[in-house]
A and B are shown apart, each in its own frame.
Chain A
Amino acid sequence: MRKRLLSAAALLFLALNGWAQEPVTSETEKALKDEAASYIFTESQLDEDADVTQDVIQISSSTNVYTSNVGYLFSPMRFKFRALDQKYNDIYMNGVQVNSAENGRFSYSTIGGMNDATRGIDYASPFESNTFGIAALGGSNNYNFRASNYAAGHKVTLSALNRNYTARAMYTFGTGVKESGWAFFGTVGYRWANMNTAAVEGTFYNSLAYFLSLEKRWGYRHSLNIATWGNPTERAQQGASTDEAYWLANNYLYNPYWGYQDGKKRNSRVVHNYEPSALITWDFNINDDLKLTTSFYGKYAMYSGTRLQYNNSLNPKPDYWKNFPSYNYDVWGESDGSNNDLAAWQESYDYWRAAKANRQIQWDRLYYANQQMNAVGGDAAYYMLARHNDHLAFNLGSTLNWDINRENKLQAGIQLASNTGMHYQTISDMMGATNLHNINNYAVGTYAGSDPRVQYDLNNPNGTVAKGDRFGYDFNIVVQKATAWAQYVREKGISHSFISAKIGGTQMWRDGKMRNGLFADNSYGKSGTARFLDGGAKIGTNLNLGKGHVVGMGVSYMTYAPTAYSNYGGSAFQAAEMNNNFIDGLKVEHMVSAELGYAFVTSFMRANLTAYFNHGTRMNEWQNYYYDDVNSFTYVSMTGVEKNYYGVELGVRFNITSGLTLDLIGSMADAKYTKNTDVSYLLSTQGTVTHDVLYNKGMREASTPLTVGSIGLNYNVSGWYFNLKGNYYDRIYLSYSPSLRYESTLIRSGAVDVDGTLIVPEQTKGHGGFMLDGSIGHQFRINHHPLSVNLMLTNILNNRKLVSGGFEQSRSNYTTDQTTGEKTSIRTYNFQKNPMKYYVQGFNFMLNLNYRF
């Protein structure tokens, strides 16, 4: 009988728990999410070329099931929130906005390795009011870096994983707020992998991180905090390659960036990054209802990325198109086959397959070539360049929060930002060569070697360069921004509403440090100053209809000054590496947005369904690449871009029992160009600009799955936490190549149907699919102190065929007559069948132990 009573009581207890108002999110689950998020946002994107994409947005929400999960859930496939560029995600630190004034983005990697310091984040999704600014289209995050925000005590974390790094150790110490009003917090971390342990062969990771914060409070009214941090990092990168290379290497993580030098592995793409930052915050509680927060942020960022350069010689990339078997034989059957050479195909195939060294960079040969050039007094045939993007940034943010009364609240603030971006190239390794001149070898040929137009710097003609010297380009971009904003929030009855507006001014100029021979009169010294006025308004409301039903809606109209300079997005300058010219037709971007949401909350479930729409006009985009048909590297500006971003998002959490929850998360989105775009490109070989029409209507945002779905089970029992998630990804597009879709290219290549309509190539897709992830965690107690052990398993079924991103090759399948510009012959190699792709890592794990004392 007693047994029965106990069982009944237990059942009742379970049932009551199951019907509790809020699902219990266990400490362990939260820790796992934090860990996953901090890994993803600060590190998992880093293996890509920093010039291509780092588009991830860290978004979360305390109220929306979809938003609170999506940030990290789909990150192994580099899911972009609403397919938006990261510049639409505003990042604040203690109330000051810290997105780069130059490129609009915040680089999450700069706060990597200091996880314990970066956990306190106040998130605002696009139509959520908040206390620090107007929520951005991709959401806004405000990090709280005040020393008093951290718990007192010590914590040691040790991690083992098989990803871009292998081991991590962190130590954290916090004092909490002392009676004296002082608080201190500090953390030190180190992340490591060498070439033998990193998941992608030929990469390594070497990063130290520190974060120190000191706060002093004077009574209730004032407090002053100073925080400083940085993470000197050295890491080697992975490059995208073609399916043929992955097949020949029999490895979905084939990395063309490394090779053997004297028997040792060497990577050609090594990034050095250190961004020492400081943040001073003054919190002033004017009275119980009025608070003023003012923060001043400064950083000096030093970023450089090396690359192997060749000088008029053979391209040293192991996966250069001429090195592939299919260069010799048209395996696609699309050419006339007249140049097919099966024996050469076999010879090349055998060579690729014979030894790993054959499919990697052959450093020894490059050094040999340079010795040959030394013997004839010639310039280096091969050398290493470092592209530097250094920044000196100052940001000031001041925000007033006024709780007028219980129903009405007002926030207002200003944000000032100044950024001096110093962009230059240096010689990072002469690779045994003794001579190199600061000459534009791309222009040699168009102009004779003795022509002044081939000089990179007419102020120092025929200058010789050696290790550490600046080469090719050297310029500063200065951007200054000022924004004022205000937000009024009203909570009355069933409604929670806000209206907000902002207005800002941006000015920018370029300051050239070299006088480029192709632009002798407008490359050295300051350009003109471009000024833009931007701003906008946003309005939103949530209506609590009772019985757990909530409806939310919002609309906004925002304008954005053009991005001043970014290698992976927009640029206000035509070719900042060469001259002072702004892009013709540069305009302030407009974005109209709307969102409609429905939430249903009961004791057994919480559901969110949201539909959104963003329509952008007058947008600017910019790229640079080699354009075959003109035999030249080109700087490409696109103006008047129009895009639609829309979709539906669903998040449901069912509380099945007190410990068991089921999550359904999914999104179906689209993000595409809605009209063809004006394009102009500058030829680096001669400095001339050509205008064309880009047929990009219908092209989609790339390198993110536009369809995602997930089903997940979470189980908490006796201090244990288990989770299993099946994630599905589809509609992954690769970055489209503009040059294949210029009007002139389409006509030249004969992509015209009988009635004269241009046939625009479809955008290449990557392979989607299913991935199973899981995790397990437990909190033990040792000497009365908690020891947490978490194990995260990703891609448990080892599905290696998932494409996380990539890009179409910009080169043509045909050759072009130098003089007439006409198509002359079809190449055996088919660039359009060989897009560059990244595949996901197979099964991988991360084991974390942390101990608090």
Chain B
Amino acid sequence: MKPQTIYKGLALLALSFTFVSCFDSDWDTPDMTNPPYGNNEIVEDQAKQVTIADLKAKYSKAIANSSFERITEELQLRATVIGNDIGGNIYKQIIVQDATGALVVGINGTGLFPFLSVGQQLLIDLKDLCIGGYGEQPQLGDEYNNSIGRMSTEKWEQHVKVLPTHDMSQIDTLDFFKVAQADIDRYCGYLVKLENVSIGDAGYPIAPEYKAGTPLIYNGSSNGYVHHSINGQSMSKLLLRTSTYADFASWVIPSTPVTLYGIATRYRDTWQILIRAEEDIKGN
């Protein structure tokens, strides 16, 4: 065989390789000018805007009675996400806060955190949503069994617009003992800090699965949530509430003090601190 034939063949082979390029090459991040989450058609209108304090005042009766009311006015709320389900402790809820107050938003969906991360500013079109109180904790959502419940994810996405601002610096992290604890109506739902606190039941996992006969305080029926005291205070006033489904449920409570960050929700007159993820526990 002639060497030229082989050379020709190899040249053809090399050439054919150069023709074939990858189909599934590197993909660029899509344009996020109009975020692919929520409803970009909501137009921000200063005239319609209310603060959380305004809203709580306007519907104070429904909130106080643990009932609900459907919002019929054209109202808009601009608030920042301060809590979500990232650690599996908060479930089917996010918590939003503005300079005047905080609200729980009930959404019937899981895996909300990557779409509604802490610090994300939202514009919520309130018309046709419901507001009410769950144990007097103000909550936005929809009607469920004649009380305030969660709205469907579809409805939520119709009523929320993701704003370009993602900034936690605008959000106050209150010192719970110095500021928040004194005024439960004003500060319930706020992001708080509890410095150098000791958590009850040291040596136990924070939210183990229920076992009858353990000294841990389970909420209501057997499982779901475990309650711990904070600084030995009465649990009718203040407690740490953790879901057995939380990612950090197995975290063992130390005997040394820690600093907690979390959402200071209320159930009637009891402060229930919800930490969002294991990272909210500092100094362990």
Q: Which residues of A contact B (CB under 8 A)?
A: 171, 173, 175, 178, 180, 182, 184, 186, 188, 190, 194, 204, 206, 208, 210, 212, 232, 234, 236, 261-262, 266-267, 270, 310, 312-315, 344, 347, 351, 362-365, 367-373, 375-376, 378, 381-382, 429, 431-432, 444-451, 817-819
B93: min CB distance to chain A, Å:
16
Cβ B154 vs Cβ A363 within 8 A: no
- Given A262-B31, A347-B154, A446-B250: A173 touches B223 (CB 8 Å cut-off): no
* CB atoms of A208 and B27 under 8 A apart: no
A364 touches B36 (CB 8 A): yes
Residues on B with beta carbons closer than 8 Å to the beta carbon of A370? 114
| Residue contact B16 to A368, C-beta cutoff 8 Å | no
Query: How distant is the Cα of A818 from the Cα of B249 in the complex, in angstroms?
Result: 13
Which chain A positions have C-beta within 8 A of B250? 445-448, 451
B13 touches A184 (CB 8 A): no
Question: A212 to chain B: which residues have CB within 8 Å?
Answer: 9, 13
Bound-complex Cα distance A344 to B26 (A): 38
B13-38: CB near A (< 8 Å → 1, else 0) gives 10011011011101111111001110
- Whether A204 contacts B23 by the Cβ 8 Å rule is yes
Q: Which chain B residues lie closer than 8 Å to A373 at the CB level?
A: 114, 117
The answer on a CB contact under 8 Å between B119 and A818 is no
> Smallest CB–CB gap between A233 and chain B, Å?
10
Contact check, B36 vs A362: say whether CB atoms are below 8 A apart: yes
B6 contact from A184, A234, A351, Cβ within 8 A: A184
Task: Point out the residues of chain B lying under 8 angstroms from A819, CB to CB.
Answer: 209-211, 222-223
Q: How far is the CA of A314 from the CA of B32 in the complex (A)?
A: 20
Q: Is the CB of B23 within 8 A of A429?
A: no
- Indicate whether A173 sits within 8 Å of B251 (C-beta atoms), given known contacts A344-B152, A370-B114, A372-B114: no
Q: How far is the CB of B22 from chain A (nearest CB, A)?
A: 6
**Taking the complex as formed, is B4 at the interface, i.e. its CB lies under 8 A from any CB of chain A?**
no
| CB pair B12 A188 closer than 8 Å | yes
Give which listed residue, B13, B30, B32, B244, contacts A818 with CB less than 8 A. B244
Complex contacts, B115 vs chain A, CB 8 Å? 365, 368-369, 372
* Inter-subunit contact B30/A186 (CB<8 Å): no
Q: Does B118 contact A194, Cβ atoms closer than 8 Å?
A: no
Does A314 contact B110, Cβ atoms closer than 8 Å?
Answer: yes
Asked whether, in the complex, the Cβ of A445 is within 8 Å of the Cβ of B245, the reply is yes
What are the 9 closest A-B residue pairs judged by CB atoms, nearest first? A314-B111, A369-B114, A381-B114, A372-B117, A448-B251, A364-B36, A262-B30, A432-B29, A819-B209
Residue pair B36, A450 in contact (C-beta under 8 Å): no
Is the CB of B247 closer than 8 A to any CB of chain A? yes
Point out the residues of chain A lying under 8 angstroms from B117, CB to CB.
372-373, 375-376, 378
Q: Which residue of B lies closest to A210 (CB)?
A: B13
Interface status of B143 (Cβ within 8 A of chain A): no
Interface flags, B238-265, vs A, CB<8A=1, else 0: 0000001111111110000000000000
Chain A residues near B154 (CB, 8 Å)? 347, 351
Task: Pick the residue among A270, A365, A449 that contacts B247 (CB under 8 A).
Answer: A449
Would B114 and A313 count as touching, CB distance under 8 A? yes
User: How many residues on B have C-beta within 8 angstroms of the other chain's C-beta atoms?
Assistant: 55
When the two chains form their complex, are residues B20 and A190 in contact, meaning their CB atoms are under 8 A apart?
A: yes
Also in contact, A184 and B1, with CB within 8 A (given A372-B116, A819-B223): yes
Main secondary structure of the interface of B (DSSP, over half): loop
B95 within 8 A of A: no
Of B23, B32, B211, the residue contacting A194 (CB under 8 A) is B23
Indicate whether B166 reaches chain A with its CB closer than 8 angstroms.
yes
Residues of B near A381 (CB, < 8 A) are 113-114
Complex contact A445–B249 (CB within 8 A)? yes
CA distance A63 to B42 in the complex (A): 75
Q: B113–A313 contact, CB under 8 A?
A: yes
Are A175 and B37 within 8 A (Cβ)? no
Cross-interface CB contact of A367 among B12, B30, B223, B249, cutoff 8 Å = B30
Is there an interface contact between A208 and B119, defined as CB atoms closer than 8 Å?
Answer: no
State A383–B233 Cα separation when bound (angstroms): 44
Q: Could you say which residues of chain B place their CB within 8 Å of the CB of A262?
A: 28, 30-31
**What residue in chain A is nearest B278 (Cβ atoms)?**
A449
- Tell me which residues from 63 to 112 in chain B have a Cβ below 8 Å from any Cβ of chain A: 86, 88, 109-111
Which of B's residues lie within 8 Å of A, judged by CB? 1, 5-6, 9, 12-13, 16-17, 19-20, 22-24, 26-32, 35-37, 86, 88, 109-111, 113-120, 152, 154, 166, 209-211, 222-223, 244-252, 278, 284
State the CA gap A188–B152 with chains docked (Å).
Answer: 56
- Which of A313, A315, A368, A432 is the one whose CB lies under 8 Å from B37? A368
Contact A376 B118 (CB under 8 A): yes
Taking the closest CB of chain B, its distance from the CB of A688, in whole angstroms, is 15
Cβ contacts under 8 Å, A186 to chain B: 9, 13
A residues less than 8 Å from B249 (CB atoms): 445, 448
Which residue of the partner chain B has the closest CB to A260?
Answer: B30
Q: Within the assembled complex, what's the spacing in Å between the Cα atoms of A347 and B157?
A: 14
Instruction: Name 18 extra pairs, CB < 8 A, besides A175-B1, A372-B116, A448-B250.
Output: A173-B9, A175-B5, A210-B13, A261-B30, A262-B31, A310-B111, A364-B30, A367-B36, A368-B32, A368-B37, A368-B115, A381-B113, A429-B26, A431-B27, A445-B247, A448-B248, A817-B223, A819-B222
Asked, given contacts A208-B16, A376-B117, A445-B249, whether A429 binds B35 with beta carbons under 8 Å apart, the answer is no
Assembly CA distance A186 to B24 (angstroms): 29
A-B contact pairs, 17 of them (CB 8 A): A188-B16, A194-B23, A204-B24, A206-B20, A206-B22, A208-B16, A232-B17, A312-B88, A313-B113, A371-B29, A376-B117, A382-B114, A429-B26, A431-B29, A448-B247, A449-B278, A450-B251
Contact partner of A270 among B1, B6, B24, B252, CB < 8 A?
Answer: B24
* Cα–Cα, bound, A431→B114 (Å): 13
Give A184 Cβ to nearest chain B Cβ, in Å: 5
Other-chain residue from B27, B111, B248 in contact with A449 (beta carbon distance below 8 A): B248
A204 to B24, CA, bound (A): 9
Least Cβ–Cβ distance between B167 and chain A, in angstroms: 9
Which chain B residues border A206 with CB–CB below 8 Å? 20, 22-23
A450-B278 contact in complex given A376-B117, A445-B88, C-beta closer than 8 Å? yes
CA distance in complex: A446, B37 (Å): 32
Q: Establish whether residues A444 and B9, one from each chain, have CB atoms under 8 Å apart when the complex forms.
A: no
Q: Is there contact, CB below 8 Å, between A448 and B1?
A: no
Knowing A194-B23, A445-B88, A450-B251 touch, does A208 contact B36 (C-beta < 8 A)?
no
Task: Kindly list chain B residues whose C-beta atoms are within 8 Å of the C-beta of A182.
Answer: 1
Bound-state Cα–Cα, A817 to B111, Å: 21
Q: Which residues of B contact A313 (CB under 8 A)?
A: 111, 113-114
In whole Å, how far is A183's beta carbon from the nearest beta carbon of chain B? 8
How far is the CB of B75 from the nearest CB of chain A, in Å?
Answer: 25
- The answer to whether A375 touches B114, judged by C-beta atoms less than 8 angstroms apart, is no
Q: Tell me the complex Cα distance, A216–B152, Å.
A: 75
Shortest Cβ distance from residue A678 to the other chain B in the assembled complex, whole angstroms: 29
Q: Which residue of B lies closest to A362 (CB)?
A: B36
* B28 and chain A: residue at smallest CB distance: A262
Are B1 and A208 within 8 A (Cβ)? no
A448 and B29: CB pair below 8 A?
no
Kindly provide the distance from the CB of B94 to the nearest chain A CB, expressed in whole angstroms.
12
A188-B20 Cα distance, complex, nearest whole Å:
13
Bound-complex Cα distance A480 to B13 (A): 34
Q: Which residues from chain B contact A267 at a C-beta distance below 8 Å?
A: 24
Inside 8 A of A376's CB, which chain B residues have their CB?
117-119
Q: Bound complex: CA of A465 vs CA of B56, how far in Å?
A: 45
Contact A190 B16 (CB under 8 A): yes
Given A314-B110, A344-B152, A818-B223, A234 and B22 contact (CB-CB distance below 8 Å): yes
Q: Is the CB of B20 within 8 A of A208?
A: yes
In the bound complex, how far is the Cα of B117 from the Cα of A212, in angstroms?
57
Residues on A with C-beta less than 8 A from B23 are: 194, 204, 206, 234, 236
* Chain A residues with CB below 8 A from B86, complex form: 312, 378
Least Cβ distance of B163 to chain A in Å?
13
What is the bound-complex CA distance between A444 and B87, given in angstroms?
10
B12–A371 contact, CB under 8 A?
A: no
Q: How far is the CB of A600 from chain B (nearest CB, A)?
A: 49
